[in-house]
Amino acid sequence: MRDSHDPPEAVFADAPWTALPDAALGRAGEVPSMLTSRERRLYVWLATHWARGAGAVVDLGCFVGGSTACLAQGLALAGRDGPVHAYDRFSANESAKEKFLYASGVPPFEGSDTLALAQRLLAPWEGRVALHRGDILDQHWTGEPIELLVVDIAKSTAITDHVAAQFFGALIPGRSVLVHQDYLHNVQPWLPVQMELLKDHFTPLAHLAPHSMCFLCTRAPDAEALKRARTDTRDAGAMLELLDAARRRHALPAADRAIGKMMENLRAHPGLRDAGALRRRLRRSASS
Ligand SMILES: C[S@@+](CC[C@H](N)C(=O)[O-])C[C@H]1O[C@@H](n2cnc3c(N)ncnc32)[C@H](O)[C@@H]1O
């Protein structure tokens, strides 16, 4: 059994969240989500066992609250108030509604607005959740320290840089955990690029298949470091070099495969910096 004196790398290497009983998830396991059940457990564990109330808990890209519910459930188990600050535009298209909402038992509804649904689904954690609606590019963080930062919104280089500029400077060295939920997603090559540029500020702690990577903040990046770590200004050649360095640094078969695929996609479509556009272009190329 590990204790609070063990180095974070050793704590995370044991993947202690996998031992959480189903009961720990409570009703958070019922909120529709794009998370795997392992990721749900990780979020409950992070908020219950890792967080000590040293800073805020922030969920960027919460969809209808699946990730938020797990974090809020963890805070509730730990007897902390929170709230979890959850950001999203709270809008879903027909295909996301079909695939993630109706398939999970949400009754069909008209339109794309999901805010009322998220509020209803998160009612069991009322008071432990603060929803922030709108385009993330228009949102600004207060500067308050952040202990847990979960990112599933960095679908473009512009958003990736905005998230870093707003939230990364508030992370607490040696304490704050950043989860990049799309880190190994092959249509978001800018994420390993960003973290390679910030390798003196973050160290990888754990990979959760298929795409999530947890990082410990070892040194809070200042404005200068964040400027140097911008992804939006990189051309494909620079990104390929950084991806190759990230791949070698991780020395992990899953990272090797995923980053290799990102490099292939970037070579095929060197100008695309938006995951949706890249995915559509890859589909079109595959079907022609
Ligand atoms: C993959 S989903 C998040 C899944 C969620 N964490 C869960 O537990 O199911 C990504 C979310 O990011 C949101 N998003 C993407 N781009 C955004 C933007 N520019 N502003 C606000 N929200 C955005 C989408 O609305 C979507 O709900």
The per-residue pLDDT for range 93-140, each reduced to its tens digit, is 999 999 999 999 999 999 999 999 999 999 999 999 999 999 999 999
Q: What is the pLDDT of residues 156-166, one digit of tens each?
A: 999 999 999 99
**pTM (2 decimals)?**
0.97
Atom of ligand 1 nearest to the CA of 59: 6
11 lines ligand 1 (CB under 6 A): no
The residue-averaged pLDDT of 248-253 equals: 95
The residue-averaged pLDDT of 245-255 equals: 96
Pocket test residue of 25, 60, 88 for ligand 1, highest count of atoms within 8 A of CB: 88
* Terminal Cα distance for the chain, rounded: 55
The secondary structure of residue 155, as a DSSP letter, is -
Atom of ligand 1 nearest to the CA of 153: 12
| Annotated domain spans of the chain | 8-287
Pocket test residue of 63, 121, 131 for ligand 1, highest count of atoms within 8 A of CB: 63
279 lines ligand 1 (CB under 6 A): no
Q: What is the pLDDT of residues 9-18, one digit of tens each?
A: 999 999 999 9
Nearest partner of 205 among 1, 14, 75, judged by Cα: 14
- Percent of the chain topping pLDDT 90: 96
Strand 212-217's sheet: what is its strand order? Answer: 129-133, 84-88, 56-60, 146-151, 177-180, 212-217, 202-208
| Structure tokens, 53 | 């109330």
Check pLDDT > 80 for residue 4: no
Nearest partner of 121 among 58, 56, 72, judged by Cα: 72
Q: How far is the CA of 166 from the centre of ligand 1 (A)?
A: 17
Q: How far is the CA of 200 from the centre of ligand 1 (A)?
A: 28
Q: What is the pLDDT of residues 43-71, one digit of tens each?
A: 999 999 999 999 999 999 999 999 999 99
62 lines ligand 1 (CB under 6 A): yes
pLDDT confidence of residue 288: 80
Q: Give the fold, CATH level 3, of 8-287.
A: Rossmann fold (3.40.50)
pLDDT confidence of residue 1: 63
Q: How far is the CA of 152 from the centre of ligand 1 (A)?
A: 6
Q: What is the pLDDT of residues 258-280, one digit of tens each?
A: 999 999 999 999 999 999 999 99
pLDDT confidence of residue 187: 97
Atom of ligand 1 nearest to the CA of 34: 9
Which distant-in-sequence residues (6+ apart) come within 8 Å of 141 by Cβ?
Answer: 58, 166, 167, 170
Distance CA 115, CA 89 (A): 8
Which distant-in-sequence residues (6+ apart) come within 8 Å of 209 by Cβ?
Answer: 36, 38, 254
Check pLDDT > 80 for residue 198: yes
Q: What is the pLDDT of residues 142-178, one digit of tens each?
A: 999 999 999 999 999 999 999 999 999 999 999 999 9
88 lines ligand 1 (CB under 6 A): yes
